[in-house]
């Protein structure tokens, strides 16, 4: 990796930045059920860029590494929310096939889409979700209960597909989906942690396949997964995720929505700026 030629002090600063992102992503996983990917992807993008990783693979590497980290954090978040009885297990069972199907399709897309394309997908979806959360009204409903099949299966495929392209655990989209059909935000957050498990495991495998043998990848990478980044983040995120779960259940619905919306705007702005 070209960035390894940087002074030790600067490398230590980057490692510290990644470690801090582990704390933030773990809290986000617990609070919003998003697996932390919405935090990790922009952080990884910045760090890999500063370390001299080729621009053509930076976004792919950030997304893939994020998905690998989401595996343990989403499992930890899911078990915490499930223990509190907040997870809609019926919905998760109905998503068991559709969500992974979307993940597989996204992995194929990732093998061909450009870095700019991935950043546009990430930024656009985040700003749309931010608008929905910040200006949410109880009257904004598509129905009083979740749709049945085949509509539900189609939604599952779309959530799996877009979330995998973004490197997130599905919470960004699943939270929006469930609340639009009258489900409480706390239940949506809790259930999204389970959706994250369905996305992260096949998504990680898919990004390894999509980037296999790419000569532009930095040291310690298997496909689009960088194991140095993964190893730095996972222990920290696992420790702090339960604290995020506690915070989520202590906050009001509106505070969760506003906090999530502001967070989405910040992340979206960062990626729009990178496209200039």
Residue with tokens 């996983």: 29
What domain range is 17 assigned to? 2-274
Q: What is the pLDDT of residues 1-39, one digit of tens each?
A: 444 455 666 667 667 777 777 787 777 767 765 656 777
Highest mean pLDDT among 67-81, 198-212, 230-244: 198-212
Q: What is the pLDDT of residue 2?
A: 44
Residue with tokens 């932390």: 36
Identify the helix (H) or strand (E) that includes residue 118: helix 115-134
Provide the pLDDT confidence category of residue 220 given band limits of 50, 70 and 90: confident
What is the mean pLDDT of the segment spanning 201-227?
92
- Which pairs count as long-range contacts for 272-276, CB under 8 Å and 24+ apart, including other chains? 272/123, 272/127, 274/45, 274/119, 275/116, 275/119, 275/120, 275/123
Q: What is the pLDDT of residue 34?
A: 60
- As a whole number of angstroms, the distance between CA 247 and CA 55 comes to 37
Q: What is the pLDDT of residue 112?
A: 92
Number of domains in the chain: 1
Who wins on pLDDT, 106 or 14? 106
Q: What is the pLDDT of residues 151-183, one digit of tens each?
A: 999 999 999 999 999 888 777 788 888 888 888
Range of lowest pLDDT (100-109, 137-146, 202-211, 214-223): 137-146
Provide the pLDDT confidence category of residue 208 given band limits of 50, 70 and 90: very high
Q: What is the pLDDT of residue 8?
A: 63
Q: What is the pLDDT of residue 106?
A: 95
Q: What is the pLDDT of residue 7?
A: 62
Provide the pLDDT confidence category of residue 186 given band limits of 50, 70 and 90: confident
- Max Cα-Cα span within the chain: 58
Q: Is the pLDDT of residue 202 over 90?
A: yes
Who wins on pLDDT, 138 or 202? 202
- Strand ranges in the chain using DSSP code E only, listed in sequence order: 221-222, 225-226
Residue with tokens 């997870």: 87
The two tokens of residue 83 are 């223990």
- As a whole number of angstroms, the distance between CA 221 and CA 125 comes to 28
What does the mean pLDDT of the chain come to? 83
Backbone angles phi, psi at 60, to 5 degrees: -60, -40
What is the mean pLDDT of the segment spanning 69-86?
86
């Amino acid at each position: 990796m070209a960035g390894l030629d940087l002074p030790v002090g600067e490398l230590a600063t980057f490692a510290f930045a990644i470690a801090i992102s582990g704390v933030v992503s773990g809290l986000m996983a617990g609070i919003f059920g998003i697996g932390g990917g919405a935090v990790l992807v922009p952080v990884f993008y910045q760090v890999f860029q500063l370390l001299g990783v080729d621009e053509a693979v930076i976004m792919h590497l950030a997304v893939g590494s994020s998905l690998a980290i989401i595996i343990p954090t989403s499992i930890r978040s899911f078990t915490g929310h499930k223990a509190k009885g907040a997870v809609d297990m019926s919905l998760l069972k109905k998503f068991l096939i559709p969500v992974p199907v979307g993940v597989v399709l996204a992995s194929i897309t990732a093998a061909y889409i450009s870095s700019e394309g991935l950043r546009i997908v990430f930024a656009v979806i985040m700003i749309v979700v931010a608008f929905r959360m910040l200006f949410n009204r109880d009257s904004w409903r598509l129905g009083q209960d979740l749709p049945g099949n085949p509509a539900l299966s189609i939604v599952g495929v779309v959530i799996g597909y877009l979330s995998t392209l973004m490197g997130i655990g599905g919470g960004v989209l699943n939270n929006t989906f469930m609340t639009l059909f009258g489900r409480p935000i706390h239940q949506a957050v809790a259930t999204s942690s389970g959706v994250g498990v369905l996305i992260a495991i096949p998504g990680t495998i898919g990004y390894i396949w999509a980037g296999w043998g790419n000569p532009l990848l930095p040291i310690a990478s298997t496909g689009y997964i960088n194991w140095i980044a993964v190893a730095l983040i996972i222990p920290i995120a696992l420790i702090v995720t339960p604290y995020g779960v506690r915070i989520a259940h202590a906050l009001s619905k509106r505070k969760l929505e506003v906090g999530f919306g502001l967070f989405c705007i910040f992340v979206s702005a960062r990626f729009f700026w990178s496209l200039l």
